[in-house]
């Protein structure tokens, strides 16, 4: 730790006390708590522990550690600036880089980009100006940008005034990518009317119980008395990727408890006694649970365009097989629905089966529309160990030097072994010293982000920090 904080020490301050304050500031920053707890909570507790373990002198020495609001705030700011400078240094040294961009609002409805608020509009022009100023201010070369991933909003992708168009004027080689997680959400949004009605009814039932605190408490007591695994329903919100599947699954699991809770006069009461309505709910629980798994598979730090294509291809193949099984009235591919049919000793009518098939076929079509097949010319990147015919296929697309490098890699048994143990990007990065030209061609395809996952993770952290209490503290200090 000492090496990491030594360059932060201020002239004229006690070195040990300063280092201690930095460590405490770092711990406070990690907790996500307001830095005001340093002097009011951390130091008093530390003094009591030091007094018990080491004696009064050690306890008195704790007073030398500066933990005032201003001091801790200054330390946290210094650490943040240092982290940013390290990142910018690495970025300037890199041969090329990629961007992912998304926007969000905090508790006071300020729009954020790079964790900095946008002053006015969130148009393509305003976002580009903020981005351009950041890039220029930190002396990063626009021409090194090889990719930009966005959420597909109009401000980002508009043909003439969108952010992507403006970026390409200063970074001509930047490839534009629509976040694969947002695309998946668009692909699964539509469904047949009969299933959409069930979805809407499910949301109404949840809202009936969750929207009133008394109902929520009474429902919890009922679930506890019945020995249920869960005691709460979940709210559905369109802006949360996994919301739909979790809400439907929880409602179906607690359907008996909800049936008892709802009064017979409630308009939704009859739904929970309708076999076909419950069968459709079970189906939706299954299919959106599977789509949730697909959504999670598209998240992460090592996701590439090849990962995305493989996951989507797998999902579409499963859907094809499910449709074939439905034609034979086999429902084991939909476990929740299959268990429900077994428990009720009933079968689905043809109308319900057709509605389910129609939904699955639409899913298959829309996933294909939003995720078109990749160009086979990039296949050598994910499989550089092909035979002669495999390599000859790419001779017209690669230079002679790159083809020779590809032959060297394909014949190297050691590389073949390491290829299985590394992710795709790490494998090609290790080849850069020996095969720089071919590696650069591979990384230009792999480097552009496939998702805005990191942006969403950052926004989640920001939401956790920008609480009502913290905002009140900021307003008082201002």
pLDDT attached to residue 371? 93
The answer to whether the CB of 259 falls within 8 A of the CB of 267 is no
**Mean pLDDT lowest for which of 29-38, 222-231, 293-302?**
29-38
Q: What are the structure tokens assigned to 351, written together?
A: 């109308």
pLDDT attached to residue 255? 85
User: Would you put residue 352 in left (φ > 0), alpha (ψ -120 to 50) or beta?
Assistant: alpha
pLDDT attached to residue 11? 36
The residue among 166, 169, 178 whose CA lies nearest residue 130 is 166
Return the percentage of the chain with pLDDT > 70, whole number.
Answer: 78
pLDDT higher than threshold 70 for residue 60: yes
pLDDT attached to residue 81? 86
List of domains in the chain: 2-82 (no CATH), 94-179+457-477 (3.30.420), 187-370 (no CATH), 377-446 (no CATH)
Distance (Å) of CA 22 to CA 150, 446, 462:
36, 38, 22
Say how far apart CA 319 and CA 428 lie, in whole Å: 34
Query: Which tops the pLDDT comparison, 415 or 6?
Result: 415
pLDDT attached to residue 120? 60
Q: What are the structure tokens assigned to 425, written together?
A: 């990007």
Residue 397 DSSP class: T
Grade residue 4 by pLDDT with cuts at 50, 70 and 90. Answer: very low
pLDDT higher than threshold 70 for residue 441: yes
pLDDT attached to residue 435? 92
Say how far apart CA 205 and CA 209 lie, in whole Å: 7
pLDDT higher than threshold 90 for residue 457: no
Treating both helix axes as pointing N-terminal to C-terminal, what angle do 275-297 and 243-253 enclose, rounded to 10 degrees? Answer: 140
Dihedral sign from CA coordinates of 94, 99, 100, 101: positive
The residue among 125, 120, 215 whose CA lies nearest residue 165 is 125
Return the percentage of the chain with pLDDT > 90, whole number.
Answer: 18
pLDDT, tens digit, for every residue of 204-259?
Answer: 888 888 777 767 777 677 677 656 666 666 655 554 556 777 888 888 888 888 88
Average pLDDT, rounded, for the chain: 80
Mean pLDDT value of segment 81-102: 87
pLDDT, tens digit, for every residue of 422-436?
Answer: 888 889 989 988 999
Q: Give whichever of 4-18, 73-87, 449-463 has the largest mean pLDDT.
A: 73-87
pLDDT, tens digit, for every residue of 328-372?
Answer: 989 999 999 999 999 999 889 999 999 999 999 999 999 999 999
Identify the residue whose tokens are 């119980």.
209
Say how far apart CA 337 and CA 329 lie, in whole Å: 12
The answer to whether the CB of 134 falls within 8 A of the CB of 114 is yes
Q: What are phi and psi of 82, to 5 degrees?
A: -65, -40
Query: Which tops the pLDDT comparison, 37 or 395?
Result: 395
**Mean pLDDT lowest for which of 12-21, 179-188, 412-421?**
12-21
Grade residue 83 by pLDDT with cuts at 50, 70 and 90. Answer: confident
The answer to whether the CB of 115 falls within 8 A of the CB of 462 is yes
pLDDT attached to residue 386? 81
Q: How many residues does the chain have?
A: 478
């Amino acid at each position: 730790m000492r090496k990491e904080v030594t360059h932060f020490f201020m002239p004229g301050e006690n070195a040990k006390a300063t280092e201690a304050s930095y460590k405490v500031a770092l711990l406070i920053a990690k907790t996500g708590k307001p830095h005001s707890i340093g002097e009011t909570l951390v130091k008093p507790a530390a003094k009591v522990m030091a007094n018990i373990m080491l004696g009064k002198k050690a306890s008195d020495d704790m007073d030398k550690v500066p933990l005032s609001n201003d001091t801790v705030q200054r330390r946290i700011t210094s650490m943040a600036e240092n982290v940013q400078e390290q990142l910018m240094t690495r970025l300037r040294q890199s041969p090329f880089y990629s961007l992912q961009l998304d926007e969000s609002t905090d508790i006071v409805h300020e729009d954020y980009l790079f964790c900095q608020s946008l002053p006015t509009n969130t148009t393509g022009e305003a976002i580009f100006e903020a981005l351009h100023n950041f890039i220029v201010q930190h002396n990063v070369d626009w021409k090194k940008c090889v990719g930009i991933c966005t959420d597909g909003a109009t401000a980002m992708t508009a043909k003439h005034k969108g952010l992507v168009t403006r970026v390409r004027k200063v970074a001509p080689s930047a490839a534009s990518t629509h976040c694969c997680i947002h695309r998946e959400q668009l692909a699964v949004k539509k469904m047949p009317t009969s299933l959409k009605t069930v979805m809407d009814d499910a949301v109404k039932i949840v809202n009936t119980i969750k929207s009133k605190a008394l109902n929520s408490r009474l429902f919890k007591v009922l679930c506890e008395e019945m020995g249920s695994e869960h005691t709460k329903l979940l709210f559905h919100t369109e802006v949360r990727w996994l919301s739909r599947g979790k809400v439907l699954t929880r409602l179906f699991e607690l359907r008996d408890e909800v049936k008892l809770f709802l009064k017979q006069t409630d308009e939704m009461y009859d739904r929970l006694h309708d076999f076909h309505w419950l069968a459709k709910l079970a189906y939706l629980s299954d299919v959106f649970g599977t789509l949730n798994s697909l959504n999670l598979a598209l998240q992460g730090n090592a996701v590439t365009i090849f990962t995305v294509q493989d996951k989507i291809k797998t999902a579409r193949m499963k859907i094809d097989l499910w449709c074939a099984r439905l034609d034979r009235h086999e429902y084991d591919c939909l476990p929740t629905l299959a268990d429900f049919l077994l428990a009720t000793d009933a079968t689905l009518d043809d109308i319900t089966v057709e509605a389910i098939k129609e939904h699955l076929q639409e899913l298959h079509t829309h996933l294909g529309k939003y995720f078109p097949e990749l160009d086979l010319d990039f296949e050598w990147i994910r499989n550089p160990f092909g035979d002669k015919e495999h390599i000859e296929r790419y001779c017209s697309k690669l230079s002679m030097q790159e083809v020779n490098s590809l032959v060297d890699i394909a014949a190297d048994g050691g590389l073949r072994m390491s290829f299985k143990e590394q992710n795709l990007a790490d494998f090609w990065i290790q080849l850069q010293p020996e095969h720089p030209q071919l590696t650069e061609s591979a990384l230009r395809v792999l480097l552009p982000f496939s998702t805005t996952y990191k942006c969403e993770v950052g926004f989640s952290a920001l939401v956790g920090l920008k609480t009502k209490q913290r905002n009140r503290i900021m307003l008082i200090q201002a």
